[in-house]
Structure 1
Amino acid sequence: MKQRFTSRVLLVDESDRVLLLCGRDPRRAGARWWFTAGGGLEEGEDYPQAAVREVREETALTLPVQRLSPVVWTRQAIFTVDGQCFDQYEEYRLARITSAEAGAMDIDTVEARYGHHWWTIEELATTSETIRPKRLALLLADALTSGSHQLLPVHLGDFNEDTDPE
């Protein structure tokens, strides 16, 4: 099992929609899920640096570290993709972006080749699609309400995505 540390970003536009990318597992027919921008830390990076680098790589949006909120959530997840098992620690930060920034994005990555979508909280609450993290509609609504007033990050839990029920 490969241990991985990731920095994830809740990119939220002026209409309170969150950008999610679509991923698929090439070894499992039909395996598909939606997830936030972000990814693994590289050597010498801290979590905020990794967050802005990943956003730039995945969307072409250059986001200064100062635009990131403090950590709103943490999560530990075990999952398998393309035959590789990961034990992944995740930190989530919120970044508000303008409609001009959203319109200027160029989402062209391996992960996003299956698509991206700006999701409303209502869409997240009613979709039958697999969303990571689970309960994102409720979590996002709370994060948008508490905003920068939240003092400590909320630990969403420890999950085994391969065996835990949706």
Structure 2
Amino acid sequence: MSVERRRAVRVLLLDPVGRVLLLHGTDPATPGTDWWITPGGGIEPGESPAEAAGRELAEEIGLAGVEWGPLIAYGTVRFSFRGRDYEQEQLFHLARTTRTEVSLTESGADEHALLLAARWWTMGELRTTGETIYPRQLAALVEQVLTEGPPEPPVRL
């Protein structure tokens, strides 16, 4: 079976009290499997990672006008969705917002995750949850950003 390779951007979106926004997703091909992820998605041809990040926030949660920070992490992830295998190179950008009222917008048919909910998570909740959160190192990354500032250079996840 072939693997589809793609480039994507994820957004580590923080509110004024240090909570991070995560989206609850599922895969219709694997009933009963769900997870929490940062907002984001594929980088389209001719689009910069920053442009893709802004577009994805608008598309997924209807949010614009965030304060953009630096690239803070990167990595490659392999996953299956709707029966297809993907290898995704992803970049994580830091962003901050004072607007905490967000809602899922109508996702396009080509969205990889079927999104169920959006929720702001505290550090304590991230550290102690039994829920599946991707990337698995997210709690450590958020803690580093909140206590030491954005990592320089960006860290590999």
The reply to whether TM is greater than 0.5 is: yes
Which position in structure 2 is the counterpart of 1:72? Answer: 72
Higher helix proportion: 1
Do the aligned residues in 1 keep the contact of 2:26 with 2:115 (CA within 8 Å)?
A: no
Q: Does 1:36 find its partner at 2:38? A: yes
**1:146 Cα deviation (Å)?**
2.9
Change (3 A) 1:57 1:34: same
Unaligned runs of 5+ in 1: 157-166
Give % identity: 39
Q: Does 1:53 find its partner at 2:50? A: no
- The aligned length equals 150
Q: 1:107 aligns with which of 104, 109, 115?
A: 104
1:102 alignment partner AA: T
CA distance in 2, matches of 1:22, 1:115: 5
Change (3 A) 1:13 1:35: same
Which position in structure 2 is the counterpart of 1:85? Answer: 85
Do the aligned residues in 2 keep the contact of 1:122 with 1:137 (CA within 8 Å)?
A: no
CA distance in 2, matches of 1:73, 1:63: 22
**Worse overlay, 107-116 or 88-97:** 107-116
Higher strand proportion: 2
1:123 aligned counterpart, secondary structure: helix
Residues 78-104 of structure 1: CA deviation (Å, up to 9, x unaligned): 000110100001100111110xx222x
Change (3 A) 1:75 1:102: same
Do the aligned residues in 1 keep the contact of 2:26 with 2:114 (CA within 8 Å)?
A: no
**1:112 Cα deviation (Å)?**
6.3
1:55 alignment partner AA: L
Q: What TM-score do the two structures reach when normalised by structure 2?
A: 0.89
1:73 alignment partner AA: A
1:87 alignment partner AA: E
**1:114 Cα deviation (Å)?**
1.3
Which position in structure 2 is the counterpart of 1:136? Answer: 138
CA distance in 1, matches of 2:22, 2:103: 14
Unaligned runs of 5+ in 2: 108-112
Do the aligned residues in 2 keep the contact of 1:71 with 1:91 (CA within 8 Å)?
A: yes
